[in-house]
Amino acid sequence: MINVLEHFGHYPKRAGWSTITESECYLIDGCWKITNTGGTCVYPLELNHVTVRSGNDEEDSQLPDPRGLYGVPSCMPFNSAATGAEFLSSYHTCLATGCAINVDRNTYWQQLYSLGTDLPLHLQQTYLNMIYSGQVRADNFKEILEQLKASSGFGNVFSTHTFPVGSIDPLIAYSLNLTSSQPRHLQFPNVEAQNPNLHSSLLGGLGGQGSIPGFGNLGGQLPHGFYPGHYQPACPYKPVKYINLPPLSGSFEGCCEKPLCYIPRPQIYHPFSGVSSYLTYWSAWSQCSVSCGGGKQTRTRICVGGKCPKGSQTEQTKYCNENPCPYYHEWTDFSSCSVSCGGGVRTRSRVCSVTDQCQGISTETTPCKPGACPTYDYGEWTPCSAEYGEGQKQRTVSCLNGGAYGCPADRIEYEECAVYYGNVVHQTGVCNPNTCMKTSRPQCVTDNGSPGYCEPSQMRPRSVPCIDNLVCYCKAYPTAFGCNRSLNLP
């Protein structure tokens, strides 16, 4: 039956310890499976229930604390140094076999993302969004990548090999040979060292606190210490030696290993091989449905295999952005029309509770007074009211045709006027020997010498050339008699 299970692409759980023999395998009710290297002890198939429980056990999906890190049996070969497709295939095979997985969600996402770094940039963003939404998983990443690569002209990049056999003995957790009682520092796979570009591609792309379209602030959701650490607690198992008694024949070798694919403690005493369904990690929270006023975010997960326990939760919802939305106050009344006829506008406005945060218009106009304007008769201007100087003149404006709104009352228009008298006389100042210019200042006087009122445009001072001294004269007439080099003219 084990061979039939493998024929359909499923794998049995490993049983026993690293040096178990065929006879010892039978003694623990295991099945001896012949391999190219001799044989392996595996757990028998559970005929009554082909689907086994351990892969569905959410409580045991992660080793909970240091007390549960040690002595857990390894279930499937899982190379801790594996990356990319090999890592993800082992991940899926482990859970589909009915084992539990000791891989955190961020490492899982990193391994998925590392396979898409050779996609065109616009497809890398699409692929990253699909990872966080749960569309790309360990059971379907090859198909998704093939589709994306095909759409961009890439060829087939994956072989049909689905189950990597690691170089580390998967049964090492069962062997007992601890030669030292000193605490050990264990190494967990360092994904950043295996893919140095991942940090800048993934976290840098998110800006540490950036966002991905459709998923809100993902950078804020990633826990502190995005990459797995290197330090693990000391191994609690130590050799026991009693006075005057020979040493025990067993050992503690492997008890301090932390297998990525393991058999949960509740299953250790009666495990079976079989086909298991499992729940994926939760996707990232979606973007909030609204920006204010109270919305919702959702996240989902998939049952891979389709036979997860009844009642398994596959969607969660939480509230978000519950802060009040900005709002407009009431509209003001419309203003009066901008014109009395011929087509104008009336205006009204409203104020936002938070400046520049409201959606919609803040000002509204409506047309008004579109009808024709009246026609008028403009009378002659009267003489200027002043005999001399500034005064006023006026004229009468009468309506000839009322247009669309009737004739208004006649009105009188006024305009400023002036009566000029006197003559402009210029008084010049002293000639400037450096510039050879002098200022001419005008004065308005009457014939009898009293002040007059002349046009303002004629009353502006002006500069005029001067030849009042020899230097300026010779500049103007350098060949004239008496102008020579002794003056050092330029």
Looking at residues 158-177, what average pLDDT do you find? 34
Residue 367 has what pLDDT?
A: 96
pLDDT digits (tens, 9 = 90+) for 129-162: 999 999 999 999 999 999 998 887 655 444 333 3
Sign of dihedral through CA atoms 51, 57, 58, 60?
Answer: negative
Give residue 268's pLDDT. 77
Domains of the chain are 2-281 (no CATH), 327-371 (2.20.100.10), 375-419 (2.20.100), 423-487 (no CATH)
Confidence of residue 84 (pLDDT cuts 50, 70, 90): very high
- Mean pLDDT is lowest, of 54-58, 456-460, 478-482, for 54-58
- Per DSSP, helices labelled H in 40-140 are 84-96, 105-114, 121-132
Distance CA 90, CA 98 (A): 13
Asked if the model's pLDDT at residue 163 lies above 50, the reply is: no
Indicate the pLDDT class of residue 383, thresholds 50, 70 and 90.
Answer: very high
166 pLDDT more than 60: no
Question: What pLDDT was estimated at residue 480?
Answer: 81
Can you give the pLDDT at residue 249? 61
* Per-residue pLDDT at 174: 33
The fraction of the chain above a pLDDT of 70, given in percent, is 75
Higher pLDDT, 247 or 295: 295
351/257 Cα distance (integer angstroms): 67
Q: Angle at CA 90, nearest 5°, toward 84 and 93? A: 140
**What per-residue confidence (pLDDT) applies to 88?**
94
pLDDT at residue 191 greater than cutoff 60 = no
